Amino acid sequence: MREVCSYTDYFVIVTAKNLRHLSSLLNDCEKELDRLRQPYHQEGERGSSWLLLDAQDFMVHFFLAESRNQYRLEALWADQPQYQIEEMLTK
C-alpha cells in the first residue's frame, strides 16, 4: 500500500463478535507487539465498535461487524491487493 498510502504498508482488518471479543483481540495484539518491542499506539476508546492499533508499517483495525459494514474500508482501498487470512492459514 505504500505506493498509494504514505503512512503504512498494510491494513489488517479484524471483525470481532462482540465488545468483549474485540477487547480481548486488541489486548492479545498489544501483548504480542510489546513482546516484539514493536512501537505502536492505539486510536479510539475502549468500548467503541472500532479501534485501531498503529504499528507504523502496519495498522490493525478492530471492528464489530456493523461498524465494519458501515465504514467499508475495503471499498476505499479496493484497487489494492487484498488477502483473506483464513485462506492463508489453511495452506
Q: What is the mean pLDDT of the chain?
A: 87
In a domain, 39, yes or no: yes
Position 30 in a domain: yes
**pTM value surpassing 0.95:** no
Residue 62 has a pLDDT of: 98
Domain range for residue 22? 10-73
CA dist., res. 88 & res. 7, Å (int)? 25
Q: How many domains, the chain?
A: 1
Radius of gyration of the chain (CA): 13
Query: What's the CATH number where 33 sits?
Result: 3.30.460.10
Q: Is residue 1 part of a domain?
A: no
User: pLDDT tens digits for 11-50?
Assistant: 899 999 999 999 999 999 999 999 999 999 999 998 999 9
Determine how many CB atoms are found less than 10 A away from the CB of residue 34: 11
The reply to whether 79 falls in a domain is: no
DSSP-assigned letters across all residues of 33-85: HHHTT---EEES-TTSSEEEEE-SSEEEEEEEHHHHHHH-HHHHTTTS----H
pLDDT in tens, 10-22: 889 999 999 999 9
